[in-house]
Amino acid sequence: MEFHTASARYPGDAWFEELIEDLKEISPEFCQWWPQHDAPLSMDGHKVIEHLTLGHLEFEHVTLQLPSDPDVRIMIYTPNIATRATLQRCLETVAVARRVQEKAP
């Protein structure tokens, strides 16, 4: 969706149009995906990540954008309660491992 949003900001831009045509030529998935999505009205959303080590992670995100330069964006991800607990356990494990490593001769 972000690519749709970016391309919608530059209608008729030759670079974007060429890139889209190149992607259509090399990717059957892109050909199926591209016409099915419109640029979202909101840049807020929900993100799910299936992490190899940590497992299922879910975040809400909000995007802040400069009105004077829409290409400059800051995305803020907030984990849900279960994800927050998973990340906290991971950080605690890393902290313990560092303390053990620092004490090793």
Structural domain boundaries enclosing 53: 42-105
Please give the sequence-ordered ranges of beta strands (E in DSSP) within the chain, or none if there are none.
45-51, 55-66, 69-79
Q: For the segment 31-83, what is each residue's pLDDT rounded down to a tens digit?
A: 888 887 655 556 788 999 999 999 999 999 998 888 788 778 889 999 999 99
Q: Residue 38's pLDDT is what?
A: 58
Q: Which helix (H) or strand (E) holds 93?
A: helix 81-103
Is the same domain home to 75 and 103?
Answer: yes
Is the same domain home to 58 and 82?
Answer: yes
Per the DSSP assignment, residues forming a β-bridge with 49 are 57
| Number of separate domains in the chain | 2
Is the same domain home to 48 and 28?
Answer: no
Is the same domain home to 35 and 48?
Answer: no
Per the DSSP assignment, residues forming a β-bridge with 56 are 50
Is the same domain home to 54 and 33?
Answer: no
In angstroms, the CA 97 to CA 94 distance is 5
Q: Model confidence at 102, in pLDDT bands (50, 70, 90)?
A: confident
Is the same domain home to 32 and 49?
Answer: no
Say what the pTM is: 0.56
Is the same domain home to 26 and 10?
Answer: yes
In angstroms, the CA 51 to CA 82 distance is 14
